[in-house]
Structure formats: C-alpha cells, structure tokens
Amino acid sequence: MKYPPLRDYGVIGNDDRCALVSRHGSIDWCCFPHLESSSVFARLLDAADGGHFAISPAAAYEAHFDYVDRTNVLETTFETANGQATVTDFMPIPDGSTGAERESGVEELFQQAIYRRLECDRGEIDLELEFAPRFDYARTTPSLERVDDGVLAAGEDERLALYAGGAIDDLELSSSATVTGTASLEAGQSCWTGVQYGGREPLATGDPEATLDETKRYWREWLGHREEPPGAMPERWHEMVGRSELVLKLLIHQETGAIPAAATTSIPEKIGSDRTWDYRYNWIRDAKFTVQALHDTGHREEARKYFEWFADIARTDPEDIQPLYDLHGETDIVERELEHLAGYRETGPVRIGNGAAPQRQLDVYGTIVQAIYETMQFDETTDIRDEWDAIYSIVDYVCDHWNERDAGIWEFRDERRHFLHSKLLCWVALDRGLALAADHDLEAPIDRWTESRDAVREAIETRGYSESAESFVQHFETDEAIDAVALLIPIYEFLPPEDDRVQSTIDTVLERLTTDEGFVVRFVDSEIRPDEQTGFVLCSCWLIDALVLSNRIDLAREYFESLLDCANPLGLYAEKIDPDDGTLLGNFPQAFSHLGLINSVTYLSRALEVDGDVTPENFHPDHVETLFRRGDSPTT
C-alpha cells in the first residue's frame, strides 16, 4: 500500500527518539539523533522519495503485528504459502541491572540504533530487504559505500550504517542510493540486521540477543509488576492503561523530562486539509494532565522530572512564557514548509517547526500553577517555598492580564478573542495560587488575588454562558459557538457537576458535538473556523470524565468502551478519529490522547469502586474526586 493507514503502524523508541514501523515491515519514519531532529526515513510523508528501511517476504503474504508483552518491542509475523517468519524491531535501552556500564557518550550512540531480528518460525521463507536512507527530510540523498558487515550511507555531516552481518545475501547498491538484499531462512534459523546512526559502532560489535533481553527487561521493570488489574477494573482497561504508559515513556525526553505532543509532524487532521502541524514539541498546557497521569500510574521519577522541566520555565518572566518549547527547552522555533515532500496521502504542506510558539495563550499560566499545585498533592519532597517566587509572579501577572484577548487553546492563527478556556485557566491560576498561599502560610496579596478571581468568575458566568444555547460557549463574543472545552468547568471545580448550567452544557455537547459512538468534535457553529467533522480523542475523554462526575456512569462507560474499540490493533491513538469509518487522523502516536485515556480510566475506576463497595447504583458525587484533588487512584 502506498500510504498505509495509521492503524497499520507501530512505534518503537527509547528515551529521545522514535520510529514508526508499518505492518508490512517498513520503517517509514525515523529522526536521528533526536526525535525533533531531521529525518533519515520519511516515507510516511512522501511514498516515493521520503526514504525507508523495509523487510518483507518475496512471496505473497499475510501480516500481523503485536508488542512483546509489557514492552515496546514490536513483532511482525509474516505468513506465506511456504513458511512463517517473525521480524522483531526495537531501539535498544541499556539496562543497569545487567551491570552493563556505559559512558554517557557511548550510551548515546548505543541508543541511536534500530535492531531488527529475522527469524523463520516454520517452513522456509525468503525475506527481501530494501534500505533507502534520505537525510535531512529527504533533502539529501547520501552516498553508499560497501563495508565488511554492510553498507555505510554518508551525507555532508551525517552517517547511517546498515548492519547486515553476512546474513543478507546478494547485497546490491543501486544508482538510486538504495540497497537491496535477501535473507533465505529455514525453520529455526535467524539473523540480525539494523541501522546505527553516526557510524558502524557499537551495533556492529555488540551482542544483539543480549541487547534484546536488556531492552525487554527494562520496559517490564519500568512498567512495574501490575500484572493483574486492581480492584474491579476490567482487564481490557488495565491493558490499555499499560500500553498508554509505555507510549508516554517512549515520548519522554530522558535528559530534560519534556514530553512532545506526538512523534511525528504533518499527519493531517483531515485528508485533503492543510491543517498539518509539527507536534514534536512540548506544549505547556499538557503539564496539568501529564503530572496527574504520571502520578496516578505510579511513575514518580518521571513526574518529578517533568515538574522540574516546567517549574524551570515558570521561573522566567511571565511575559516571556511560550505555549510550547522544544524538548531541550529552546524557544526559537520557526515554522517552515518543506515543499519537496508530497505529504501523508498526498496531503500537504509538510511543516517543521510550529508557528504557535510565539502566540499569546493565557491558559499557560493556569496550567503551570495547576501542575505545581497538583505536584504538591503527591510529592512531599517538593518545597513550595522554592517555587513561590515564580508562582507569585505568574498569579500577579494574571491579575493584570486576564481580561485580554488571546489565541486560545486551539491556537487560532488569525483571531484573538476572549476564549472561555483561557479565562477558565486564569481563574485556575488565581484560585490555586490562593489555595497554595493559604495551605502553606505564604505571603501573598490575598485581597488583590481574590478580587481578580471573583472578577474572572463573574465574567465567565455572565459572558461565557449562553441562555439561548443552554451552554457555556467558545468565547465571550458568541451565543452559538459550542466548544468541548466547556466540559472542563466541573473538572477544574469552577462549578459543581450538579449545577444546572453544567448539566445543560453537557446535554448540549451530547446533542451538538457528540457522534452516536461518543466521539466529540472540538467545536461547532464558530465563526472563526468551519465545523469539524472528526472526533478529537482528548475531548471524547473530557466528556467521559464529565459524565462520570455527573453520575451518568452507564453512558460514560459505553462511550469509553467505544473509544477503546477505535485504537489501532496495537492500542495506539492518533489525535482524531473519523466517526464514519474509524480512520485515525493527526499526528501519531498522540500523547494527549493517551493521557486522556489514563485519566478517564481513573475517573471510571473511582466511580465503580471506592472503598470496595461503590457501584453505579449507590453512586454519590462525594465518592469521585476530580482529577485535581488529592486522592489515591486505582490505576496505581
């Protein structure tokens, strides 16, 4: 298939890099040396010229893939008329428990590799290899040179080695900078191939079987020993939470703790649309949900590192805080179009960088304060006094600027409005700032902050709610634009779930934004941009959470099960789902989608079993705390 659907892709990776591997055995997306670096394989964005590393049978075949249990090691099984083979793909991670000590520089090189094991399970099979690296987003076609154990591809300042180890027969180099070869295997036989960025070492001289064992062990130990679902959580939910945890860990930058929104750039939100963005950056607004998800799943070290990352950003001048940063904390992010690439399924433009970086988005301030507030609920080692100067500055800044227009959560590029979400998060910044000051006996201008908080509340209640629409609306200048962000009002405890305006808002979202399957589009009837037709996974999770808080447990569970059905066969989500055919759209895999899933499982689990005896029949709102309160989660 020229452009496989996202359902046909798996992701492998480690610490700071990812690769997408299709069900047909082709690595179609990979950037080295880091996830946000330029690509060495980009067939995902240009089937003809993007570059790839493919392994598949020479004869007709059927294929399916799955992860090795509780790991990010991917196995693809090919069946032909004469035999069956399994290709195992992974990026290596050194496991300290093996005693394999590596200097930092060597370890970095060790991880800048992809290992591929070819094994014949029964019969006999010929596997064809095709290696076509294209550096710098396919702007550089490298030169190829035969070496003892494979081929070295070289660009002006990049090298990528194909390791064949003598197991690949008939290795040929074409004038089009493509390497082909064949591995002929019989039952019980196996061989190794792979690529090493920067040169031939250490892949060429390492022990690949030991490395595979190390990598499996690492993932399983990181995930922990939660082999059985806690409480009454269904096995299926438990498995999907585990997969979502593993996806998040793949995306977490080991050095800085930052988490990109996704592993890819320019997968369109809709085929034929020019809404193609680079998501390989960390959005500040993700912080509050990320901290909660990491703590709820017991990953304290990652949560702490992520806290340190955004806390460092919080110490800058509030005026200079951006909506997004690169994974190393850099702020100079320029958006450019790569006109030479056709785009996924011929949908362009292909973009690198992101023009939303310099936007003004007032919600970032509430996000930071909420994330710090949330961290204080879980991490007793954090001293709020170390962060108070930064929090004080942010909350004080919100007092002066909350009533300004901004670009909003959906980053409208040509519009500035008084967006509901931005005002809500300004209220959060003030409310949590006051709570932190009171809880920890910290000095603060209480009267000033309280007056501003009350003013924001009045503005939201009087200008953000439409009597005619019977719902909170997208921004203050409309009576008709319905936006899924209104579902966050009870989640942030701006109003209680039983408030009539909250309930009517949920009813309106169900009527106007929700498909029969429970997929929620972001907004409708907005004069800023035409209605969306595809379900936004995170918004669907928000609806599930709001339904749980409203004691509509049966409907919440029905929609959650429907959402689980729409993951790809490996349990991975993109940003959006086409409600007509279940097609996954947008960048992939999407961190926000997996964060939303983890948090929705938290809500549902709390509703279905608190202290072992709460069921939908005897549910009471007091049993289910919002995500942003102290509480133990059944997912840990």
Q: What is the DSSP letter of 50?
A: S
- Of the residues 223, 245, 264, the one at which a domain ends: 223
Q: Any idea what the Cα angle at residue 100 is, between residues 99 and 106, rounded to 5°? A: 150
pLDDT of 633 strictly over 70:
no
Distance CA 275, CA 350 (A): 10
SS3 of residue 302 by DSSP: helix
pLDDT of 617 strictly over 50:
no
CB atoms within 10 A of CB 559: 24
Q: What number is the average pLDDT over the span 386-393? A: 96
Q: What is the pTM of this model?
A: 0.94
Selection from 251, 60, 50, 10 nearest residue 135 by Cα: 50
Backbone angles phi, psi at 173, to 5 degrees: -110, 125
- Concatenated DSSP letters of 346-362: G---EEES-TTTT---T
pLDDT of 442 strictly over 90:
yes
Same domain, 187 and 253: no
Q: What number is the average pLDDT over the span 581-605? A: 95
Chain segment 306-364, per-residue pLDDT in tens: 999 989 999 999 999 999 999 988 899 999 999 999 999 999 999 999 999 999 999 99
Selection from 168, 140, 164 nearest residue 154 by Cα: 140
Same domain, 216 and 266: no
Extract the tokens encoding 208: 């690949």
Same domain, 262 and 128: no
SS3 of residue 114 by DSSP: strand
Quick check: 597 and 573 in contact, CB under 8 A?
yes
- Concatenated DSSP letters of 193-214: EEEEETSSTTGGGS-HHHHHHH
Which pLDDT belongs to residue 287?
Answer: 81
Same domain, 205 and 240: no
Selection from 103, 102, 90 nearest residue 209 by Cα: 90
Distance CA 324, CA 278 (A): 11
Extract the tokens encoding 76: 């693809």
Same domain, 59 and 29: yes
SS3 of residue 449 by DSSP: helix
pLDDT of 635 strictly over 50:
no
Chain segment 54-69, per-residue pLDDT in tens: 999 999 999 999 999 9
Same domain, 528 and 616: yes
Range of the domain at 513: 235-623
Same domain, 194 and 260: no
Q: What percent of the chain has pLDDT over 90?
A: 78
SS3 of residue 123 by DSSP: strand
Chain segment 11-70, per-residue pLDDT in tens: 999 988 999 999 999 999 999 999 999 999 999 999 999 999 999 999 999 999 999 999
Same domain, 314 and 200: no
Q: What is the DSSP letter of 475?
A: B
Residue partners of 501: CB distance under 8 A and separation at least 6? 461, 465, 472, 495
- CATH assignment at residue 572: 1.50.10.10
Question: Is 602 domain-assigned?
Answer: yes
- Of the residues 188, 223, 258, the one at which a domain ends: 223
pLDDT of 613 strictly over 80:
no
Question: Is 67 domain-assigned?
Answer: yes
Distance CA 158, CA 326 (A): 22
Same domain, 202 and 266: no
Distance CA 546, CA 518 (A): 13
Distance CA 636, CA 352 (A): 37
pLDDT of 96 strictly over 50:
no
Q: Which residues pair with 14 in a beta bridge?
A: 17
Distance CA 423, CA 420 (A): 5
pLDDT of 437 strictly over 70:
yes
CB atoms within 10 A of CB 446: 12
Amino acid sitting at position 411: E
Question: Is 524 domain-assigned?
Answer: yes
Q: What number is the average pLDDT over the span 195-202? A: 92
Strand order in the sheet with 584-585: 535-536, 576-577, 584-585
Residue partners of 55: CB distance under 8 A and separation at least 6? 25, 26, 87, 116, 118, 127, 128, 129, 130, 193
Question: Is 228 domain-assigned?
Answer: no
pLDDT of 599 strictly over 70:
yes
Which pLDDT belongs to residue 612?
Answer: 44
- Provide the domain count of the chain: 2
pLDDT of 228 strictly over 80:
no
Residue with tokens 């590393």: 53
Which pLDDT belongs to residue 478?
Answer: 97
Chain segment 491-541, per-residue pLDDT in tens: 999 999 999 999 999 999 999 999 999 999 999 999 999 998 899 999 999
Q: What number is the average pLDDT over the span 243-261? A: 93
- CATH assignment at residue 72: 2.70.98.10
Same domain, 210 and 285: no
- Of 94-98, 110-114, 366-370, 575-579, the range with the lowest mean pLDDT is 94-98
Mean pLDDT (the chain) is 91
Same domain, 15 and 60: yes
Question: Is 512 domain-assigned?
Answer: yes
Same domain, 52 and 183: yes
Question: Is 635 domain-assigned?
Answer: no
- Of 164-178, 268-282, 581-595, the range with the lowest mean pLDDT is 164-178
Question: Is 230 domain-assigned?
Answer: no
- Of the residues 196, 223, 250, the one at which a domain ends: 223
Quick check: 279 and 538 in contact, CB under 8 A?
no
Which pLDDT belongs to residue 378?
Answer: 80
Which pLDDT belongs to residue 167?
Answer: 72
Question: Is 634 domain-assigned?
Answer: no
Q: Any idea what the Cα angle at residue 260 is, between residues 142 and 195, rounded to 5°? A: 30
Cis status, amide bond into 57, omega within 30 of 0: no
Q: What percent of the chain has pLDDT over 70?
A: 92
Extract the tokens encoding 426: 């300004």
Identify which has the larger pLDDT, 401 or 257: 401
Identify which has the larger pLDDT, 578 or 206: 578
Confidence band of 629 (pLDDT split at 50, 70, 90): very low
Which pLDDT belongs to residue 626?
Answer: 52
Quick check: 598 and 299 in contact, CB under 8 A?
no
- 583: Cα separation from own chain's centroid: 18
Distance CA 174, CA 132 (A): 10
pLDDT of 207 strictly over 50:
yes
CA dihedral 488, 492, 498, 502 (to 10 degrees): -30
